[in-house]
Amino acid sequence: MSVPARERSPRPAGGEIPLPDAAFRAIAARIHALTGIVLRDHKRQMVSTRLGRRLRALGLADYDSYLALLDGPQGAAETVELINALTTNLTSFFREAHHFADLRAAVIAPRIAARAGRLRIWSAGCSTGEEPYSIQMTMLEAGALDRPWDYRLLATDLDSAVLARAEAGVYAADRLAGVPPALRAGAFRARPDGSFEVVPALKAAVRFRRLNLLDPWPFRGPFDAIFCRNVLIYFDAATKAALVDRFAEMLTPDGTLYLGHSESLLGDHPRLRPCGRTIYRRRA
């Protein structure tokens, strides 16, 4: 006797779609090849939760269908969604505040004093924008935004969804917790719905671009400061080491590299000398 379709379905609507071992490994291998991100076994539940949402949105019943979609004519567009779903975008304003104090004292102030004509900063892995706008608030505080100099802040991320939010620069009120009260009025304007938007004067010098750090970089720099914080932790040792070498080559002779709190360089680096907690300056 045939079983009615309703009873055949083992999965209640909205329930978890089982992620078989082979599918997890296939997805992890793809993500590693595409982004450098390593998805070890303990990330399996995270992958299942995030991609399960994606499968339900697409109306797919299982991961074999999803892998077939990735290999089909819509594969390129779906790969962007896959990457967006599996990146981790946790961030906040003035995260690791000592980096912004160093930026002001050791990068911005000396260049103002030397009447430098050019300043370039790169926020690599900028997520939803809190990092580049914290840099902009540091520039504002230092009186560096009004100077007649050639200043640009490049803000890049692989995840197109977070990048769109960064470019919009709109944040819920509770996201502003890390912003020193003295800076809030100059940096944000209140919106009727209770959220806050970064003011145009802070947005003006920022260029948001989608960039996979593993790909060739379509610019020459050099940068006076590069922030690449809480990005390298997702990569394997060889990818991390190769990226740090590339960042070192992209710095001005006295340029500074800021890494995340758990990303200190182990051992000596031929081009970078440690200058405080996860702060490295290019060796002369």
Ligand X SMILES: C[S@@+](CC[C@H](N)C(=O)[O-])C[C@H]1O[C@@H](n2cnc3c(N)ncnc32)[C@H](O)[C@@H]1O
Q: Which residues are catalytic?
A: 50, 157
CB of 136 to ligand X, least distance (A): 14
CB of 137 to ligand X, least distance (A): 14
Determine the distance from the C-alpha atom of residue 242 to the mean position of all C-alpha atoms in its chain, rounded to a whole number. Answer: 18
Could you tell me the two tokens for 68? 């077939």
Looking at beta carbons only, is 158 or 187 nearer to ligand X? Answer: 158
List interacting residues with ligand X (CB under 6 A). Answer: 35-37, 87-91, 95, 125, 127, 131, 157-159, 162, 212-214, 229-231, 234, 260
Looking at beta carbons only, is 99 or 203 nearer to ligand X? Answer: 99
Give the three-state DSSP class for 247: helix
Give the three-state DSSP class for 237: helix
Looking at beta carbons only, is 229 or 240 nearer to ligand X? Answer: 229
DSSP 249-272: HTEEEEEEEEE-TT-PPPS--SSE
CB of 87 to ligand X, least distance (A): 3
Looking at beta carbons only, is 147 or 165 nearer to ligand X? Answer: 165
Give the three-state DSSP class for 168: helix
Answer whether 257's CB lies under 8 Å from 228's CB. Answer: yes
CB of 204 to ligand X, least distance (A): 21
Q: What is the Rg, in whole angstroms, of the alpha carbon atoms belonging to the chain? A: 22
Looking at beta carbons only, is 229 or 282 nearer to ligand X? Answer: 229
CB of 183 to ligand X, least distance (A): 18
DSSP 9-69: --S-TTPPPP--HHHHHHHHHHHHHHH-B---GGGHHHHHHHHHHHHHHHT--SHHHHHHH
Could you tell me the two tokens for 86? 């599996």
